[in-house]
Structure 1
Amino acid sequence: MIVGLVGEVLKKEPTYLHIEVGGVVYEVFISLNASAAIDKKQIRLHTTHIIREDSESLYGFVDINEKKMFDRLIKLNGVGPKVAIAICSTFKPQEFVQIVQQKNVAMLKKVPGIGPKSAQRILVELGEFDISESNVTSSAFQEASMALQSLGFKKEQIQKALQECTATDTASLVKEALKKIQKL
């Protein structure tokens, strides 16, 4: 799995670029926002490597939040990489978060390839989508958070408790968070 590339841009088009890394040239699909942000020959890209039965594709992002947005979108039912990159091209990550939070179907319909039904489905499936840096990012914290949610605790309580925890594995985090939630 290729998760990042650092190299020299050999060819740049609005929706893709060729980047040379260690003598190998990769074709990387990018959003229009990423294309506008690339102005140097030497670049560092965060990538998502998609392997299909008949093809392999690399999608590159200058902004880590745009990558998070793309990765979340391609997990949705009926949203493939082309639609996800179209959404990334149409909206910056923070704009997209606002659209999702406001459930703004009209704005999402502006993306090529998304109609009213698709827009509504995407907004429903994303729910409380957020890409802010303050989100808990480690898998142990995410697993602990999901475990506590399944026990019926509210997200606010869980996040507050987990922020105070010092454990690093899921089981210990859940135990420690339960003790802290009882004190809240």
Structure 2
Amino acid sequence: MIVGIEGTIERKDPTFVHLNVNGLIYEVLVSINTSNSIQEKKVKLFVTQVIREDANLLFGFMDTNEKKMFDTVLKINGVGPKVGLAICSTFTPETFAKVVASKDVSMLKRVPGIGPKAASRILVELADFIVDGNEESANSGAMGEATMALESLGFKKDAIQKALLGATGDTSTLVKEGLKKLQRL
């Protein structure tokens, strides 16, 4: 399985690039966001390879979070690579995580190829989509660790989120705070 590709760009369109890798030219399908972020002739892309009966396709991404988002939506029944790439072209991973967290069906319906039913199904199946390396909160790593620790103790994710709302500190402080509040819930 191909997971990355590095080469020189022979041709660049908004939805694909032709990469020359030591004389062998590959067509790599890309999102519009990735296409816009390619500035130089030499490029390294993270790749998802999709093998079908009639095609062997490469989907390239500059950002690992965008690749993770694409791979995650492909696992949903009824979402293929074309719709996955349309989602990646419409939203950045951070924006998509916010759309999923807020369960905003109308925003998701803006993606070409997604109707109301598909949007609802995607939001239900991706209820806990999290972007790696999200720098919005300084203690987001500690918050994630505390959440996982409390989940491993058998608490429900929604109850944990309510208990940790507004809490700050390192992982152990957050776990202690969470346990105190969860005992009252």
> What TM-score do you get using the length of structure 1 for normalisation?
0.75
Aligned length: 158
What does residue 54 of structure 1 align with?
54
After TM superposition, give the deviation of residue 48 of structure 1 in Å.
Answer: 0.2
Cα distance in 1 between the residues matched to 2:36 and 2:74: 23
Counterpart position of 1:78: 78
Distance 2:46 2:22 in 1: 17
Written as runs of structure 1 = structure 2, the 5 A alignment for 1:1-184 is 1-133=1-133, 152-154=154-156
Offset from partner CA, 1:149-174 (integer Å, 9 cap, x none):
688344569xxxxx89xxxxxxxxxx
CA distance in 2, matches of 1:81, 1:152: 36
2: CA distance, partners of 1:22 / 1:129? 37
Aligned-residue sequence identity (percent) comes to 54
For residues 23 and 131 of structure 1, what CA distance do their matches in structure 2 show? Answer: 36
For the residues of structure 2 that align with 1:80 and 1:151, how far apart are their CA atoms? 36
1:55 to 1:149, Cα distance in 2 relative to 1, 3 A: farther
- Match of residue 174 from structure 1: none
Give ranges in structure 1 of 5+ residues lacking alignment: 137-144, 158-162, 165-179
For structure 2, the 5+ residue unaligned runs are: 135-139, 142-147, 162-170, 180-185
How far apart are 1:62 and its partner, in Å?
0.5
Structure 2 length normalisation: TM-score? 0.75
Q: Which aligned runs of 4 or more in structure 1 are off by greater than 2 angstroms?
A: 132-136, 148-157
Displacement of 1:39 in angstroms is 1.2
CA distance in 2, matches of 1:32, 1:123: 22
Q: Which one-letter code corresponds to 2:78 in the other structure?
A: G
User: Which whole-Å CA distance do the structure 2 matches of 1:27 and 1:112 have between them?
Assistant: 23
Post-superposition CA distance 1:79-134 (Å, at most 9, x none): 00000000000011100000000000010000001111111110001011111227
Deviations 1:20-73 (A, max 9, x none): 112211100000010100111000100000111221100000111100000000
Residue type of the alignment partner of 1:65: N
CA-based RMSD of the aligned residues comes to 2.9
